[in-house]
Amino acid sequence: MPEFLSPAWIEELDAALRDAADLSALGPIEIEQVVSGVPRQGEVRYRVVVDDRGARVDAGDGDEHAAVVRLTTDYATACGIAAGQENAQAALADGRLRLGGNVDLLVRQAPVFAAVGDATAALRGATTFPTP
């Protein structure tokens, strides 16, 4: 079982997205997730890219200004959202989740989030969430 936000988890996220062939029709969009306070890692950032080639994860510390939309949060909030125990809209309203970049595009591309959620449901069920 992969630990949330570990390199193995990001690899499995990438594999799940690449296997979801129908996502390419929903793009293009690039969403960067930045999570601080990750146990044994500090800050983790990765990008979900959906375009005419399909969907995939681009992990690493690329140009922080290249992502179209950026979601920034702390580890506890990210775990709660990923595990389905926390509502992203509530975290946004409380200031624990911050949006950056082209937020209008994020709103217009809302179906991407639902499709990514569907494509990664099995991974969510197999993910462990270590405490800091």
Report the distance separating Cα 82 and Cα 59, nearest Å: 18
Residues 6+ apart with CB under 8 A from 103: 69
Using an 8 Å Cβ cutoff, are 16 and 55 in contact? no
Q: What is the pLDDT of residue 113?
A: 74
* pTM for the full predicted model: 0.85
Query: Which of 102, 36, 98 is closest to 67 using CA atoms?
Result: 102
pLDDT digits (tens, 9 = 90+) for 30-40: 889 999 999 98
Question: Any idea of the CA torsion for 59, 60, 64, 66, to the nearest 10 degrees?
Answer: -50
Q: What is the pLDDT of residue 132?
A: 67
Low-confidence ranges of the chain (pLDDT < 50): 65
Ordered by start, the domain boundaries in the chain are: 7-118
Superfamily of domain 7-118: SCP2 sterol-binding domain (3.30.1050.10)
